[in-house]
Amino acid sequence: MIHLLISQAAASTSSNMLLWAFILLGVAIFLLFLELFLPSGGMLAIVGAAAVVGSLVCFFLHSTTAGLVALGMGIVFGPACVWLVFKWWMDSPLGRRMILGGDQLHLDQSEEEAHAASAHAMKERANVHGDLVGMTGIAETPLRPVGIIRIDGQRLEALSEHGIIESGSEVTVTEARDNQLKVRLLDN
């Protein structure tokens, strides 16, 4: 399709070149916008880039001045427009749903609130067993270095700090981080 448009433009007069340049530019913008929504593997972007090049060729065929103006505007405004579109896209609800997978928590909150909620949730997950630090329990299985301990009737997975701890040994919890308990053999 783009090849047909370019060949038609080449056969046209100089006054029609400007029309073809704007048509190709419109096609390019449409295809690049469509690339955001359709999974084409970049093919729409490639065809859109070819349409931009064809548009520049048509501008230069119309006149050197028009070509240089279009090229200069493309160099200056092209990256700025791409940056603005992606900034808008990332902040839009549709863009967040497509990129983040529809995380409803982040859609209804400001960015700072979302980061604070995420950090708080991670801290709570990381410190699930924080209240067990300093408590003593019994090793139900050998800890080589991981095994099962029992504290207050609750079976928990634990990691031995130093070497192997035999089952039936009394242990104390020294650290609780990332849902992992570290224990040490209790000195009698």
Distance between CA 120 and CA 74 in Å, rounded? 45
Position 48 scores a pLDDT of 92
Say if CB 142 and CB 157 are below 8 A apart.
no
Looking at domain 130-185, its CATH class is mainly beta
Cis preceding linkage at 145, omega within 30: yes
Q: Which two structure tokens, joined as six digits, stand for 133?
A: 């630090």
Residues 42, 93, 99: CA angle, nearest 5 degrees = 40
Mean pLDDT of the chain, nearest integer:
82
Question: Which residues of the chain are in CATH 2.40.50.140 domains?
Answer: 130-185
- Pseudo-torsion of CA 88, 94, 95, 99, nearest 10°? 170
Distance between CA 42 and CA 106 in Å, rounded? 29
Position 148 scores a pLDDT of 94
User: Strand 136-139 vs strand 146-151: parallel, antiparallel, or unpaired?
Assistant: antiparallel
Position 125 scores a pLDDT of 59
List pLDDT tens digits, range 11-26. 666 778 889 999 999 9
List pLDDT tens digits, range 128-171. 677 788 899 999 999 999 999 999 988 999 999 988 999 999 99
Q: What is the pTM of this model?
A: 0.46
Give the burial class of 187: count Cβ atoms within 10 A of its Cβ; 0-12 exposed, 13-18 middle, 19 or more buried: exposed
Position 43 scores a pLDDT of 93
Task: Output phi, psi for 183, to 5 deg.
Answer: -125, 160
Q: Which two structure tokens, joined as six digits, stand for 71?
A: 């090229």
User: Strand 154-160 vs strand 180-185: parallel, antiparallel, or unpaired?
Assistant: parallel
Q: 71 falls in which pLDDT band (50, 70, 90)?
A: very high
